[in-house]
Structure formats: C-alpha cells, structure tokens
C-alpha cells in the first residue's frame, strides 16, 4: 500500500500500515534504500495521524465546552 494513492485512507488503515512498516523494519533484512523509503512513508503517515487526532481533539473540546451542544 502506498500513500500516493488518490483515495483517502482511513485513520485505522494508516495505523495498520505504520504497524506493518515497524514490523518490516524490525524483523526483515530489507535493503537500505527500501528502509529509507519505509521510514519516509511511516513518518508521513504518523504526521497525518497526529494532525487528525489534534483536529479531533479540538472538535471534542468544543463539544465538551458546550459550544456545539444543542439540547433542544
């Protein structure tokens, strides 16, 4: 799975891919060039997940603070 796909990849799929990358880096005899590619992909996915979680936190904080609550 590459992150260059035009389709949007879910948060869960990104986490799964990060786990796959970590496992590959820890357990296999991957050539240096492929290691570099995997590390770049993992870093990109990690940043995307972090950004997504930060955005979700802002939304949740707004809801909890009552800024988006509608009790009627």
Mean pLDDT confidence for 28-56:
95
How many whole angstroms separate alpha carbon 63 and alpha carbon 13? 26
At 72 the pLDDT is 55
Q: What confidence tens digit (pLDDT) does each residue in 33-44 have?
A: 999 999 999 999
Q: State pTM to two decimals.
A: 0.76
pLDDT value at 27 more than 60: yes
How many whole angstroms separate alpha carbon 46 and alpha carbon 65? 28
How many whole angstroms separate alpha carbon 49 and alpha carbon 16? 11
């Amino acid at each position: 799975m590459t992150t260059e796909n035009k389709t949007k990849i879910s948060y869960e799929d990104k986490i799964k891919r990060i786990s796959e990358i970590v496992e590959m880096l820890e357990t296999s005899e991957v050539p240096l060039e492929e290691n570099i590619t995997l590390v770049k992909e993992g870093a990109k996915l990690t940043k995307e997940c972090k950004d997504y979680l930060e955005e979700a936190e802002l939304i949740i904080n707004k809801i909890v603070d009552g800024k988006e609550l509608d009790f009627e």
